Chains A and B, each alone.
Chain A
């Protein structure tokens, strides 16, 4: 079945630092890939997605590229802010199958 492995946290960075959160997946066929973000006390919010190889999803300064050759979907941001502190989940899904989440990476941004 499908699975997702993402880097363990917590990740602690200073404001304006460069962020990378690694995510690799295993899946059959051609799934879509997602990053969700969960702020304290809230549900998951879709941050970005990519539906096919070489697609780049982007939102709020975050980016991730669907790399089929390395089965990866790493999340990046050039300059993080304190407000980016949250838990980030990588996920894989096909329309006719359930979504599989990674365990999440907690991000702390220090002012």
Chain B
């Protein structure tokens, strides 16, 4: 089966510009996660969706970050406006039903200049 798909793989923008990342989870996976991974660190959760509902967004900086998963499949993560400190890799992961194993996409590497 196809894995988690993310695009773009790389994005370079200037600060104060908006940026959006897209994720398509594995088919049939109802739970979707967005993680932030800073250089030399492990991923940290930004938001978790169960179908189209955001069930944990406590770590999402809501002043500039937003996410949506309108039909319970694909998801988009947006930053507006981007800051220098947002430079990182943004990972998407998905999980099926009552299992406990998350599958990760390749990530989007964001560089803010």
Q: Which residues of A contact B (CB under 8 A)?
A: 4, 32, 34, 36, 42-46, 49, 51, 89, 91, 93-95, 98-99, 101-104
Contacts and interface: CB of A to CB of B under 8 A. Distances in A.
Given A32-B100, A34-B101, A95-B98, A102 B107 contact: no
A32 B93 CA distance: 17
Interface residues of B, number: 23
B98 to A, nearest CB: 6
A34 B102 CA distance: 10
Contacts of A94: 100
A46 B42 contact: no
B42 A49 contact: no
Contact of B43 (A42, A49, A101): A101
Interface of B: 4, 6, 33, 40-45, 48, 56, 91, 93, 98-107
B42 A104 contact: yes
Nearest to B9: A41
Contact of B107 (A4, A43, A49, A89): A43
Contact of A43 (B33, B42, B48, B106): B106
A94 B6 CA distance: 25
Contacts of B101: 32, 34, 46, 49
Nearest to B43: A101
17 contacts: A4-B42, A36-B104, A42-B107, A43-B6, A43-B106, A44-B93, A46-B103, A49-B100, A51-B100, A89-B43, A93-B102, A95-B100, A98-B48, A98-B56, A101-B44, A103-B42, A104-B40
